Amino acid sequence: MPDYVKPYIDKIEGFAKSRNELIELLLIGGLAMSFYGLPRYTIDIDAEIKCSDKIYFELIEYLKKENVSFNISDNISGWGIIPLPAGYRDRAQTVYKGDYLILKVLEPVDFVFSKLLRGTEEDFGDASEVINKYGITRDLLLEREKLIHFPKDPETLFFKKKFRHLLELTG
């Protein structure tokens, strides 16, 4: 586990241990980049969580008291109008397993799509780095796009425009 990630993880694992309950986090964003071998500075935890309702709300209060920035919910696919490709949870990869904490990251192709949901310059940079590191092909991206259930919404057109831009950037 990368050194700068450890303090975040230690806090959550310590909290889970104090409650004697397992927490599972599916990391996205900057922390996930570290587990892809592409460390980048980040100041927050972006993740999907699996735990009881009681522990979730206690964890949120704990992180606030510890001054840890976070965006943690039980459905990262619902963070925007465009959902992640169907099956992303099943394809997620476990990167750490402790007695009270399991960390996962999105399979690299799904991670690329997660970055397109927001689509900032930093997100395109992250997506491009992951594409290059894992040799993700245009065909694989086009195939995974078929697993997205696009809503009848103007946001779909905007997402597809970002997707085309990413395909152009990656050649």
3-state secondary structure of 49: strand
Rounded distance between C-alpha atoms, residue 112 and residue 124, angstroms: 8
* Confidence (pLDDT) at 4: 67
At residue 2 the predicted structure's pLDDT band, cuts being 50, 70 and 90, is low
Q: How far from 121 is each of 5, 21, 108, 168, CA to CA, in Å?
A: 23, 38, 18, 14
Q: Check residues 21 and 30 and name the one with the higher pLDDT.
A: 21
The whole-angstrom separation of Cα 11 and Cα 9 is: 5
Assess whether pLDDT exceeds 90 at residue 53.
yes
Provide, rounded to the nearest whole percent, the portion of the chain with pLDDT above 70. Answer: 98
CA distances from 92 to 85, 111, 157 (A): 12, 9, 27
The residue length of the chain stands at 171
Residue type, 169: L
Strands 93-97 and 69-73: unpaired
Confidence category of residue 8, pLDDT binned at 50, 70, 90: confident
Backbone angles phi, psi at 129, to 5 degrees: -60, -45
Cα 139 → chain centroid: 22
Q: What is the rounded distance in angstroms from the CA atom of residue 123 to the CA atom of residue 120?
A: 5
125 exposure class (CB count in 10 Å sphere: 0-12, 13-18, 19+):
middle
- pLDDT tens sequence across 63-93: 999 998 899 999 988 888 889 999 999 999 9
Q: What angle do CA 71, 76, 78 make, to 5 degrees?
A: 115
More confident residue, 36 or 5: 36
Please state, rounded to an integer, the average pLDDT across all residues of the chain.
Answer: 91
Q: Which among 81, 19, 98, 99 has a CA at the least distance from the CA of 56?
A: 19
Domain boundaries, the chain: 6-107, 110-170
Residue with tokens 């920035």: 69
